[in-house]
Structure 1
């Protein structure tokens, strides 16, 4: 399996904790972790990529991702497999739950990347989400505020699924 690049933005530290859990489930594989606060130049070096972002406001990207958005839009993702993780609060922000994932999804697919790791919307209670395509989330949806007890198992199952694509 080729090296995996994990890129994340965090404001409160919750996203970094999710990245730690992802790392735990990748522990026997080669991967590198990058906080996008320090830039995204390294994305070009990976064919297997995990992007992690919380949603703020009404489905907006985390501020460090926003700072790198223009550069991200210029990356050619041809031949790359990208898995997405979104954090959100399905009850407080049920009208835009994990919608920031969709922003990353659109950039990656517009730039010829392949998104893997879609997950079911079952088990969540939200009004709507831009991150839902064909009745599935475009990545792994995490709600640490209301379903933190579900998080470890959701991550474990999701990582096992994306490993099939990260060859």
Structure 2
């Protein structure tokens, strides 16, 4: 498998902790983890990407992602496989649960990328979200406020799927 670029934005540390959980499950693979606050200029170098964002406001990406969005929107994702992780609170913000994930998804698909790692929406109790297509999230949806006990198993199963589908 080719090297994986893991890019995340985090205010409270929860998303950074999920990046570490992903690293743990990729322990024998070649990867590099980058906080988007430090820039995304190396992103085009990777054919395999994992992008993580918590959701803020009404379905918006985290502020460091928002700061790099003009640059992100210019990246040609053709020939790349990208997996997305969205964090949110399905009860407190059930009307836009993990909406930040959809912001990334829309840019990636518009710019020619292949999004992998869709997951079932079964087991969640959100009101609505634009991050579901059919009956699947456009990536891995995590609720560290209400379902953190399910995170390790969700991440482990998801990473195993990614390993089979990355270049």
Matches within 5 A, 1:120-131: 120-131=120-131
TM-score of the pair, normalised by structure 2: 0.99
2-side partners of 1:109 and 1:163: how far apart? 21
Matches within 5 A, 1:151-166: 151-166=151-166
Matches within 5 A, 1:103-118: 103-118=103-118
2-side partners of 1:134 and 1:42: how far apart? 33
2:87 aligns to what? 87
Q: Which runs of 4+ in 1 moved over 4 A?
A: none
1-side partners of 2:137 and 2:162: how far apart? 14
Structure 2 unaligned segments of length 5 or more: list them. Answer: none
1:143 aligns to what? 143
2:47 aligns to what? 47
1:134 aligns to what? 134
Give the C-alpha shift of residue 135 in structure 1: 1.5
Structure 1 unaligned segments of length 5 or more: list them. Answer: none
Query: How many matched pairs?
Result: 167
Give the C-alpha shift of residue 111 in structure 1: 0.2
Give the C-alpha shift of residue 59 in structure 1: 0.9
Give the C-alpha shift of residue 77 in structure 1: 0.3
2-side partners of 1:112 and 1:164: how far apart? 21
1-side partners of 2:164 and 2:32: how far apart? 19
Give the C-alpha shift of residue 164 in structure 1: 1.1
